[in-house]
């Protein structure tokens, strides 16, 4: 269904019965999450930003509103075990230094950020801990252990609004991300913006195009029954437009991640979200 | 024993006598169908959860046979009428002989 029509239906339903549950409102185990916000000022062509949750079928939406039904939570459970698991030459686990994972509340919405002139994502921070302090092998960007851990850490910030720094040191990275977003690539000669800015809310064959927000990553996707990193998703998009994808964890995707995060400023972190 | 198997169950802690409650269960399991091949072309042996049961105070309430077409992390949701306080016991039987179980108490007032 056309998004605008969909929203007006929602508004009409609200107007007639204030007590009725607005089907467009996401609440996880009773805690409401913001899925709609005024677009940040730097977005010139969009007035309102919507979480990808709003574009999914009601069955998929329902999966995310109960933590038991959310299949992404299986991986969060695995990460809780990983958190306490000793690995590497130093005989340390995550829990050896960071007592409670709850202490990371507030981290997810501020990433990626610039540290010592480099743009770092949560994957970079985890791998730095693993190689520098634990003496362990770094995890691969989109492999199970990594996405489970980013989900566990991201979950601590669920409900907090995305708020990344895009000025100062981060400005050049942000500019680069923006350029990537609007650059047409691949055999189909498409940019991110062609689908996610010009045509969100319409159908692309069987798929309902979203705004490409990344506030719910890592995301459990029904199509592959596992958690997916945002970089893995970018790669999938680029393959769909017959382009050669950039490397996961590379400079291009990190810059794009920062730019996309900034396009979702104000939306609630939904990690781990459920999508098709 | 298959790797990363973890049962999860949601049962309300309290209910009134005769009330119908909803029980949700999920076990994280690969459910290897036996149809796939590994990188060298050898068939990966079948390893699925083939049976799921739930008992209430040692009385069987549900007994399910699972087949290879059932996807990874099998999820069961069912309703039960609870006559008295007691304990639900959930058991999953693996092809490789492993048995996973978990219990939940419920208080009926």
Q: Write the class of the CATH domain A72-155.
A: mainly alpha
- pLDDT, block means (10 residues), chain B with 109 residues: 79 87 90 89 91 92 90 89 90 91 90
pLDDT at A18: 33
Of B4, B24, B73, the CB nearest to A71: B73
The dihedral through the CA atoms of A264, A210, A141, A62 has a sign that is positive
pLDDT at A9: 45
Distance CA(A207)–CA(A236), nearest Å, equals 14
pLDDT at A15: 38
Structure tokens given for B3: 């790797």
- Bridge partners of B56? B59, B88
pLDDT at A22: 46
Of B4, B6, B24, the CB nearest to A68: B24
Q: Is residue A62 within 8 angstroms of chain B, CB to CB? A: no
Which residues 6+ apart lie within 8 Å of B40 measured at CB? none
pLDDT at A3: 53
Helix, coil or strand: residue B91: strand
Domain A40-69+163-275: give its CATH code.
1.10.760.10
User: Residue B95 is part of a domain; what is its CATH number?
Assistant: 2.60.40.10
Domain count of chain B?
A: 1
Report whether pLDDT(A269) > 50.
yes
> Scanning the structure block, which residue is given the tokens 């980013």?
A150
pLDDT at A139: 93
pLDDT at A4: 53
Q: Which residue of chain B comes nearest to A71, CA vs CA? A: B73
Q: pTM for the complete prediction? A: 0.82
Q: Is residue B28 within 8 angstroms of chain A, CB to CB? A: yes
Report whether pLDDT(A1) > 50.
no
How many other CB atoms are there within 10 angstroms of residue A26's CB atom? Answer: 21
Buried b / exposed e over A243-259, threshold 16 CB at 10 Å, is bebbebbeebbbbbbbb
pLDDT in tens, A214-224: 999 999 999 98
* Same fold across A40-69+163-275 and A72-155: yes
Q: Is residue B85 within 8 angstroms of chain A, CB to CB? A: no
pLDDT at B65: 94
pLDDT at B19: 86
Is B26 close to A74, i.e. CB distance below 8 A? Answer: yes
Q: How far is B70 from chain A (nearest CA, A)?
A: 13
Report whether pLDDT(A50) > 80.
yes
Structure tokens given for B9: 């169950």
Structure tokens given for B13: 């802690």
Is A68 close to B71, i.e. CB distance below 8 A? Answer: no
In A10-140 the beta strands, taken as DSSP E runs, fall at 26-28, 31-33, 36-38, 48-50, 113-115, 118-120
Structure tokens given for B83: 């006559």
Is B6 close to A69, i.e. CB distance below 8 A? Answer: no
How many other CB atoms are there within 10 angstroms of residue A271's CB atom? Answer: 26
State the average pLDDT over residues A102-115.
Answer: 92
pLDDT at A268: 92
Residue at B50 is within a domain = yes
Distance CA(A108)–CA(A160), nearest Å, equals 9
| All structural domains of chain A with their residue ranges | 40-69+163-275, 72-155
Tell me, what's the ipTM?
0.71
State the average pLDDT over residues A248-264.
Answer: 94
Is A69 close to B24, i.e. CB distance below 8 A? Answer: yes
Report whether pLDDT(A13) > 60.
no
For A10, A49, A201, A210, A276, the CA distances from A5, given in Å and listed in that order, are 9, 16, 10, 15, 22
**CA-CA-CA-CA dihedral for B66, B69, B74, B77, to nearest 10:** -70
pLDDT at B2: 62
More reliable by pLDDT, A18 or A265: A265
Residue at B1 is within a domain = no
Which residues 6+ apart lie within 8 Å of A206 measured at CB? none
Distance CA(A244)–CA(A246), nearest Å, equals 7
**For residue A140, how many C-alpha atoms fall within 13 Å in the half-sphere facing its CB?**
6
Which domain does B39 fall in, by range? Answer: 6-108
pLDDT in tens, A125-171: 999 999 999 999 999 999 989 999 999 999 999 999 999 999 989 99
Burial label for B38, CB within 10 Å (0-12, 13-18, 19+), is: exposed
Range in A23-27, A224-228, B93-97 with the lowest mean pLDDT: A23-27
Burial label for B104, CB within 10 Å (0-12, 13-18, 19+), is: middle
């Amino acid at each position: 269904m056309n998004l605008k029509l969909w929203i007006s239906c929602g508004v009409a339903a609200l107007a007639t019965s204030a007590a009725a549950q607005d089907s467009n409102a996401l609440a996880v185990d009773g805690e409401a999450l913001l899925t709609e916000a005024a677009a940040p000022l730097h977005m010139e062509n969009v007035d309102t930003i919507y979480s990808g949750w709003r574009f999914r079928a009601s069955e998929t939406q329902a999966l995310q509103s109960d933590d038991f039904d959310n299949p992404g939570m299986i991986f969060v459970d695995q990460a809780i075990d990983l958190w306490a698991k000793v690995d590497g030459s130093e005989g340390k686990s995550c829990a050896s230094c960071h007592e409670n994972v709850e202490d990371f509340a507030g981290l997810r919405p501020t990433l990626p950020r610039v540290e010592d002139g480099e743009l770092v994502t949560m994957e970079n921070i985890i791998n730095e801990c693993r190689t520098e302090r634990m003496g362990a092998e770094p995890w691969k960007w989109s492999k199970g252990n990594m996405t489970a851990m980013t989900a566990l850490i991201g979950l601590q910030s669920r409900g907090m609004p995305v708020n990344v720094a895009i000025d100062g040191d981060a400005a050049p990275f942000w500019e680069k991300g923006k350029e990537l977003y609007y650059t047409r690539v691949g055999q189909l000669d498409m940019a991110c913006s062609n689908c996610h800015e010009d045509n969100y809310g319409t159908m692309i064959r069987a798929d309902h195009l979203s705004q490409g927000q990344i506030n719910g990553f890592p995301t459990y996707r029904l199509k592959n029954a596992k958690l997916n990193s945002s970089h893995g998703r970018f790669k999938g998009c680029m393959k769909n437009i017959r382009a050669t994808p950039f490397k996961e964890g590379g400079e291009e995707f990190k810059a794009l991640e920062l730019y996309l995060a900034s396009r979702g400023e104000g939306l609630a972190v939904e990690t781990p979200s459920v999508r098709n | 024993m298959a790797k990363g198997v973890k049962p999860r169950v949601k049962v309300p802690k309290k209910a009134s006598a005769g009330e119908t409650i909803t029980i949700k269960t999920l076990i994280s399991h690969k459910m290897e169908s036996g149809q796939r091949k590994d990188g060298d072309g050898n068939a990966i042996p079948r390893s699925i959860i083939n049976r799921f049961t739930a008992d209430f105070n040692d009385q069987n309430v549900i007994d399910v046979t699972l087949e290879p077409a059932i996807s990874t992390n099998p999820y069961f949701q069912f309703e039960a009428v609870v006559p008295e306080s007691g304990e639900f016991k959930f058991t999953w039987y693996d092809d490789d002989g492993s048995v996973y179980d978990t219990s939940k108490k419920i208080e009926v007032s």
